[in-house]
Amino acid sequence: MTATVLVRPTDGGTGPTLRVRSGPRLLADLDDGPGLDRHRDRVGALRTPRLARLLRSLDALGIRGRGGAGFPFATKLRTAAGARGRPTVVVNFSEGEPASFKDAALAATRPHLVLDGASLTAGALGAREVHLVLPGERPAVRRSIRTALAERRGEDRRLRWRLHTADPRFVAGQARAVVELLSGRPNLPVTGWQPEAVCGYRGRPTLLSNAETFAQVAAAVALGEDGYARLGTDDEPGSLLLTVGGDGSRPEVLEAAHGTAWSAVLPAGLLDRPVLLGGYHGTWAAPGALTGLTVSRPGLAEAGLALGAGVVLPLADGACPLTRTAGIAGYLAGQSAQRCGPCLNGLPALAAAVRSTALGRPATGRVTQLADLVERRGACAHPDGTVRLVRSLLAAYPDEVAAHADGCCTFGAALPGEEVAS
Amino acid sequence: MSSRLRVDWPACRRRGFCSELLPEVVELDEWGYPLVTGEVPESLTRLAREAVRTCPTLALRLTDLPAAAPPPGRHTKRFL
């Protein structure tokens, strides 16, 4: 019997209720609640390792950032430690990807694991401030964190916690946009000439990572290298958090050990449907493509798939991935900060070309041309993520594109009619 | 040593001076924004510096290739 906890991250009964399923490590013993006393019973007192020791563990365990890009955390930490100036630590809870709820789940159920990870990383680095960036559209996250911080008086000596609220928009969680928010400027991406770990907040080395990353770091320190590696595979020790939420279903956050078969993660019926992995900046898996694959970054990469921040979106029965991509591309075009020319002009054009293709007027040549034109030409990765989604659709569903050109949809959906020009 | 032109995208207002100065390396896309087509060879460095200097919105930078990676093993903290 799996214990689950229900969480409502948004206010006013409008947003979805989130189901958090008990897991093997981070999400173990959810019945204990989020309090500090039970947390200390489970993981022990907070220990701050020396920097060299922490780096050795992180290198050995290969822990990567969990915000989407999957950058090795030890490399970031080493860079921040070697750069000029007193470093700052930033914990990013603002899940810009609207279908991602794992960090909201951590805030509700395991806030002290995240805060332990941030505290010990700051201690090892010699940082005196930890900035917590919270999602504006999910006020429950802020309440959970404030409650947890109030419990921690005396736990993190010589450390100051500072709270910030990110704007409710897709690009607000991008690293440079977060540094802008901390600096009191608009919460939008700007050009970063150097990595944040070298020159970020106030020109200082800034170690910025996703909330789950810090929870994993805390688990690695609490369990030791051998203990941490007991879960997962030799190549990828440990676990990761996933948000599984199809169209129209209640999102569910769960923890899977690396190497778990997808058939054990998703109910069988869902594996036979198109699955969008990694969220709106993610990649499409064709029906059945995940059968035989495991939860593994390199394993998925070999199949041309990417997990991003761990979002798994199986389509509803009868929903068409081409039509859905057209809708998402339109949403993403609207989420542009509209400050970089290629994104401002290119994303609406790209979305229009995908919509035209979905409506049976194929424009795949134009889609490919625009994808090349917007990629890597912006201050942030928003155009790159949009291009990844669109390209993966063309790669996974060429037959669907051809079917729509012939006026039918193999998923049984009626082609959307001509839209009235707005 | 060859170098690379990088664009500060939020700053760029598609004035096109860069493409006029350096058509070998900078084309304009269908909206008029610079499309950097390759590295800047040493023979064009002087012109590239001029493009950086004369960009009306100061949206260009010339960076060395390859991107300088932090040397390994510098773990010691250095406080200001």
Contact B79/A at CB under 8 A: yes
Best mutation target among A194, A207, A340, A372 (most B Cβ atoms within 10 Å) is A340
B80's tokens: 């200001």
Distance from CA of B66 to the nearest CA of A (A): 14
Best mutation target among A176, A344, A377, A382 (most B Cβ atoms within 10 Å) is A377
Q: What's the pLDDT at A316?
A: 87
Distance from CA of A86 to the nearest CA of B (A): 5
Burial A218-254 (b: 16+ CB within 10 A, else e): bbbbbbeeeebbebbbeebbbbbbbbbbbeeeebbbb
Q: Tell me if A388 sits within 8 A of A279, measured CB to CB.
A: no
DSSP states of A94-149: ---STT--HHHHHHHH-HHHHHHHHHHHHHHHT--EEEEEEETT-HHHHHHHHHHH
Distance from CA of A349 to the nearest CA of B (A): 11
Q: Tell me if A206 sits within 8 A of A214, measured CB to CB.
A: no
CA distance A397 to A82: 46
CA A330 remoteness from chain centre: 20
Tell how many helices (H) and how many strands (E) occur in chain A.
16, 11
pLDDT digits (tens, 9 = 90+) for B1-19: 789 999 999 999 999 999 9
Helix %, strand %, coil % for chain B, to 5? 20, 20, 55
Give the closest of A79, A198, A341 to B12, CB-based.
Answer: A341
Q: What's the pLDDT at A101?
A: 94
Best mutation target among B5, B9, B18, B29 (most A Cβ atoms within 10 Å) is B9
Q: Which residues of B touch A75 (CB under 8 A)?
A: none
Give the closest of B7, B71, B79 to A86, CB-based.
Answer: B79
How is residue A64 annotated by DSSP? B
Tell me if B10 and A340 make a contact (CB, 8 A cut-off).
yes
Tell me if A339 and B61 make a contact (CB, 8 A cut-off).
no
CA distance A381 to B52: 24
Q: What's the pLDDT at B20?
A: 96
The candidate with the shortest Cα–Cα distance to A7, out of A28, A23, A21, A24, is A21
Contact B53/A at CB under 8 A: no
Phi/psi for A200 (5° steps) reads: -125, -120
Give the closest of B12, B29, B74 to A373, CB-based.
Answer: B29
Q: Which residues of B touch A84 (CB under 8 A)?
A: 78, 80
Q: Which residues of B touch A198 (CB under 8 A)?
A: 70
pLDDT digits (tens, 9 = 90+) for A142-179: 999 999 999 998 888 889 999 999 999 999 999 999 99
- For A88, counting Cβ atoms within 10 Å of its Cβ (0-12 exposed, 13-18 middle, 19+ buried), the class is buried
Sheet arrangement for strand A283-285: A4-7, A18-21, A252-257, A239-244, A311-314, A275-277, A283-285
Q: What is the largest CA-CA distance in chain A?
A: 68
Q: Which residues of A touch B79 (CB under 8 A)?
A: 85-86, 126
Nearest CA in chain B to A338: B10
CA distance A67 to A203: 23
How many interface pairs between A and B have CB atoms less than 8 angstroms apart?
A: 71
Q: What's the pLDDT at A113?
A: 98
Tell me if A341 and B30 make a contact (CB, 8 A cut-off).
no
A42's tokens: 């489970």
A336's tokens: 């542009």
How is residue A72 annotated by DSSP? B
pLDDT digits (tens, 9 = 90+) for A233-280: 999 999 999 999 855 568 999 999 999 999 999 887 888 899 999 999
The candidate with the shortest Cα–Cα distance to A260, out of A298, A229, A231, is A231
- For A197, counting Cβ atoms within 10 Å of its Cβ (0-12 exposed, 13-18 middle, 19+ buried), the class is buried
Tell me the percentage of chain B whose pLDDT exceeds 90: 76
Distance from CA of B46 to the nearest CA of A (A): 22
Q: Which residues of A touch B71 (CB under 8 A)?
A: 82
Q: Tell me if A95 sits within 8 A of A67, measured CB to CB.
A: no
The one-digit pLDDT tens for each residue of chain A (422 residues) are: 356 777 777 766 566 788 999 999 999 999 999 999 999 999 999 999 999 999 999 999 999 999 998 999 999 999 999 999 999 999 999 998 889 999 999 999 999 999 999 999 999 999 999 999 999 999 999 999 999 999 998 888 889 999 999 999 999 999 999 999 999 999 999 999 999 999 999 999 999 999 999 999 999 999 999 999 999 999 999 999 999 985 556 899 999 999 999 999 988 788 889 999 999 999 999 999 999 999 999 999 999 999 999 999 999 888 999 999 999 999 999 999 999 999 999 999 999 999 999 999 999 999 999 999 999 999 999 999 999 999 999 999 999 999 999 999 998 876 666 554 44
